[in-house]
Amino acid sequence: MTRTLTAMPASAGRPRVGQDLLRRWQGLAARERGMLLLMVLAIGGAALWVGWWEPLQKQRVQLQAELPRLRAQQRQLHDLLGTLHRQRTAAVITAASLRTRLKEAGLQQQATLSESPAQWQLAVREAPADTLWNALLPVLANPAVQVQELTLERTGNPNMAAARVSGTIVMKRNGSGGAR
């Protein structure tokens, strides 16, 4: 006796999952279906809460805690930028600013500034040396101003403690430092 075995399809021995679930769903009472739907909504809502809403709220709380610190840093940066702008504006040396500097130092009678497009010539007569240098050193430290010629000699009584000088200082203006 020989038996012939025929191959059966793989799904022939077991029912399909989708059909089985649909058959079971239809077998439930309306009240049971409502409770199952409510349970699925509750689980979905809880998953949404834990997976999406709660992390967003934690991030919001952290950002609100950081906000005052960031605002303080913004104010500090704004103040620093304002200071930098004022310093850069003050660093631009013009003939008018040099005249103002000499006047503030009390050298308006002893110093005469004449200007040409590329240079300034400062003529000094009997000016106190320390006052002159205190007024000119910030100007000469600016990279836009370069000393081309310096001819000064000590004048007055050589026994005086405070030296007085007379002569000329020729300064070349480079780039934007020579703006009028």
Same domain, 111 and 70: no
Same domain, 171 and 125: yes
Same domain, 60 and 79: yes
Taking all residues of the chain, what is their mean pLDDT, rounded to a whole number?
Answer: 85
Same domain, 101 and 148: yes
Q: Is the distance from CB of 175 to CB of 91 less than 8 angstroms? A: no
Higher pLDDT, 143 or 114: 114
Q: Which domain holds residue 156?
A: 95-178
Same domain, 172 and 139: yes
b/e 146-162 (16+ beta carbons within 10 angstroms → b): eeeeeeeeebeeeeeee
- pLDDT tier at 179 (50, 70, 90 boundaries)? very low
pTM here is 0.47
Q: Is the distance from CB of 115 to CB of 86 less than 8 angstroms? A: no
Which SS3 state, helix, strand or coil, does residue 172 take? strand
Q: Is the distance from CB of 113 to CB of 122 less than 8 angstroms? A: yes
| 51-92 pLDDT per residue, tens | 999 999 999 999 999 999 999 999 999 999 998 887 776 667
d(CA 52, CA 66): 21
- pLDDT tier at 3 (50, 70, 90 boundaries)? low
Same domain, 101 and 61: no
